[in-house]
Chain A
Amino acid sequence: MKALFSQFKFSRILIGDWILFFAALLLVIFLFKTYWHIESATKLQIRQGDKIYATLSLNQSRTLLIHGPLGDSKISIQNGQVRFVSSPCRNQYCVHQGWLKHSGQVAICLPNQISLELLGADKPFDSLNY
């Protein structure tokens, strides 16, 4: 076992190999950073019915009441995130969606006709299929 282990030393990796390996590793890390980058959102767009109610900065602490057909939905903006706090709808899907913070994320309350969409520097795809 010891003989086998000593045979498998890394002395056959030359200095250029190490340099090339680390350059390649940096390239791979760079690729991960570029393609797997999830952008934090900067703005929030609220839609009420078929029109845009407001486009607000996420950089504030604020609670809003937005009027819909069923009543008022309560929305909270905090620490660059946003969520439905309460809603008069039956399913409460919008509230269960929780905090949104990445650009492209949406929370929609269909019964009360209110939606929140987070916007960043550029708009990502909202779905991909192969």
Chain B
Amino acid sequence: MQINTTLDDHRVAKLAALAIGLHLLESIMPSPLPGVKPGIANIVTLFVLYRFDFATAAWVSLLRVFATSLLLGNFLSPTFALSLGGAIMSLGVLGLAQYLPRQYFGPVSLSILAAFAHMIGQLMLVRLWLIPHTGLAYLVPLFMAAALLFGLINGIVTSHLLAAYPKPAD
């Protein structure tokens, strides 16, 4: 059986592979608090959103979530659900935020917004499903502070990457 693939499919596959690599690299890094992670794979999502379009970014992000969970062996586990929930939330916010005026709002804004959405999505899942306890509220400020810090750093990295690899002339 032969699946006919287009050039776009190859591009999505290459970019998703890059995101998967970064995600795997991050998964072996120790974390002070479960859930506090830099989310460096989102740099790829953001880069793709700017270089290509939203559909490609969504493909790359969701492929990354599914493929990484298969590689790490947590497909359909709570970890996977959190990863998917965060990815869907941040894609939703990126889908809206991409229409912000580009001369004022750069990758840093989009990265912070995406990181916040990612964290809020995960916290909602945890609160409603995994740990239905009000004591979770105590951790909310820490998680949001981490999201702000890593969102800022990822945004700066993305803007430098975009400048370092300018769009090839069509």
Q: What residues make up the interface of A, taking CB atoms closer than 8 Å to B?
A: 8, 10, 12-17, 20-21, 24-25, 27-28, 31-32, 34-36, 125, 128, 130
Interface of B: prevailing SS: helix
Q: What residues make up the interface of B, taking CB atoms closer than 8 Å to A?
A: 100-101, 103-109, 112-113, 116, 131, 133, 135, 137-138, 140-141, 144-145, 148, 151-152, 155-156, 159-160, 163
The answer to whether residues A24 and B159 also contact, given A12-B106, A128-B135 and a CB cut-off of 8 A, is no
Contacts of B159 in A (CB 8 A): 12-13
Tell me which of A17, A25, A27, A35 contacts B138 (CB under 8 A). A35
The answer to whether residues A17 and B141 also contact, given A12-B163, A24-B116, A28-B148 and a CB cut-off of 8 A, is no
Q: Total contacts A to B, CB within 8 angstroms?
A: 71
Tell me which of A12, A21, A32, A130 contacts B141 (CB under 8 A). A32
CB atoms of A12 and B156 under 8 A apart: yes
Tell me which of A8, A16, A21 contacts B104 (CB under 8 A). A16
Tell me which of B113, B138, B148 contacts A36 (CB under 8 A). B138
CB atoms of A16 and B135 under 8 A apart: no
Tell me which of B105, B116, B148 contacts A16 (CB under 8 A). B105
Beyond the given A28-B148, A35-B141, could you list 10 further A-B residue pairs with CB under 8 A, ordered by the A residue number?
A13-B106, A14-B106, A16-B106, A17-B105, A17-B155, A21-B108, A21-B109, A28-B145, A31-B141, A35-B140
Contacts of A128 in B (CB 8 A): 133, 135, 138
Tell me which of B113, B131, B152 contacts A130 (CB under 8 A). B131
The docked-state distance in angstroms from the alpha carbon of A50 to that of B119 is 47
Contacts of B152 in A (CB 8 A): 21
Chain B: CB-nearest residue to A23: B112
CB atoms of A16 and B133 under 8 A apart: no
CB atoms of B160 and A8 under 8 A apart: yes
